[in-house]
Amino acid sequence: MFSQQMPPASSALSVQLLPRDAGVRADQPFAIDFPPLMAGSAVCIGLAIDWRSQDALRDYALARTLPDEHARAARFTRPEDSLRNLLGRALLRTVAAHYGGMNPRQLIRISTWGKPELEGCTVGCNISHAGSQLWVAVAAHPQVGIDIESADAAQEYRDIAAGFHPDELAALRRAPDARLATMRCWCRKEAVSKATGLGLSLPLRDYAVDPGPAAAGWLRQPPPKTARGDWTTVDLPVGAGCIGALAVVGSIGRVEVLRLRLTDAR
C-alpha cells in the first residue's frame, strides 16, 4: 500500500473544516462578512458564478481592477474565461487588502513562475478556478496553494499522469476509480506546487501525494528543500462537480470555508 511505503509528510492529519454558505448579490459579490483569520488557521472563499449575471459581475470586477488587468482579460477568446480572470483579480485584491493590508489599487506583478506578487500583503494568498467555481485561500503562513479542478476527467486522463511520481502511478493503478483518483492526484499536486511558488516549473516526479480518498494529510513526499514535517494538506468542499485541495507550508488545524452563491441571478 502507498501509506506503508511512504508515511505522511503533512504535520496535521486531522484538520477541522468549517464550511458555511452565504448569499450575495451580483453587483456586490464580495461585500461579505469575512471569516476571521486566526493563528493556526486558513480561510478559503469561493464564488459559484452564475453566467446569467455575468454583466453585473463584469461591471463589478472592472471597477475593482486595473487597466492592465482589463487588457489581459480582453485577450481571452471566450467571455467566460475573461470574466473568471477579472473576477479572480478582484477577489484576490479584496482578500489581500482585508486580511493583509495591501493597497487594493496597487499594481500586481507576476513572478517568473506565474504567481501574483502581492507587495505589502502580510498574509499568504493564492487563487484558483475551474468551470463556474472561483476560489481564494488565505493563511498567516506565506506559502499557501489552492487548486480547483473538475471531477470529470477527460477521455485522455492517463496523459494527465505523465511524469507523476512512481508511487503515485502505482497507487493509481490500484485505484477502483482511476479517473477520479487521477484528477484528485493532479489537484493535490497543483496545490502543493502553487504553495512553493514554483507552479508547473516544479517537476512532477519531485514530490508525491496520496491519490486515495483520505481527505487530509495526503502529502507523502514534499518538494525538495521543504521541511518534511511542516506541511498541512487537506481537501476542500468546493461544490458539486469539482474537487479542491489546500496546501500550506506550516501547521494549521482549522480552515474556514465560505461558499458564496448569487441570490439575484437572472
Per run of 10 residues, the mean pLDDT along the chain (length 266 residues) is: 50 79 97 94 97 96 96 95 96 97 92 85 95 96 94 76 93 93 95 89 92 95 79 93 95 96 84
**Which CATH number fits the domain that encloses residue 97?**
3.90.470.20
- pTM comes to 0.93
Least Cα distance to 42 among 136, 139, 121, 148 occurs for 139
Question: Is the residue at 140 inside a domain?
Answer: yes
Write the CA distances from 35 to 15, 64, 107, 255, integer angstroms. Answer: 17, 21, 26, 10
Would you state the pLDDT for residue 111? 83
Do 11 and 232 form a contact (C-beta atoms < 8 A)?
A: yes
DSSP 147: E
d(CA 125, CA 229): 21
Would you state the pLDDT for residue 12? 45
Question: Is the residue at 141 inside a domain?
Answer: yes
Question: Is the residue at 151 inside a domain?
Answer: yes
Question: Is the residue at 36 inside a domain?
Answer: no
Question: Is the residue at 38 inside a domain?
Answer: no
Write the CA distances from 204 to 59, 134, 144, integer angstroms. Answer: 39, 25, 18
Least Cα distance to 253 among 16, 10, 11 occurs for 16
Question: Is the residue at 131 inside a domain?
Answer: yes
Cβ contacts of 12 within 8 Å, gap of 6 or more: 216, 217, 232, 234, 251, 252, 253
> At 36, which amino acid appears?
P
What are the two backbone dihedrals, phi and then psi, of residue 255, each rounded to the nearest 5 degrees? Answer: -130, 115
Question: Is the residue at 37 inside a domain?
Answer: no
Looking at the structure of the chain, the number of domains it has is 1
Question: Is the residue at 75 inside a domain?
Answer: yes
What are the two backbone dihedrals, phi and then psi, of residue 83, each rounded to the nearest 5 degrees? Answer: -65, -45
Expressed as residue numbers, the domain containing 208 is 2-31+43-262
Would you state the pLDDT for residue 5? 46
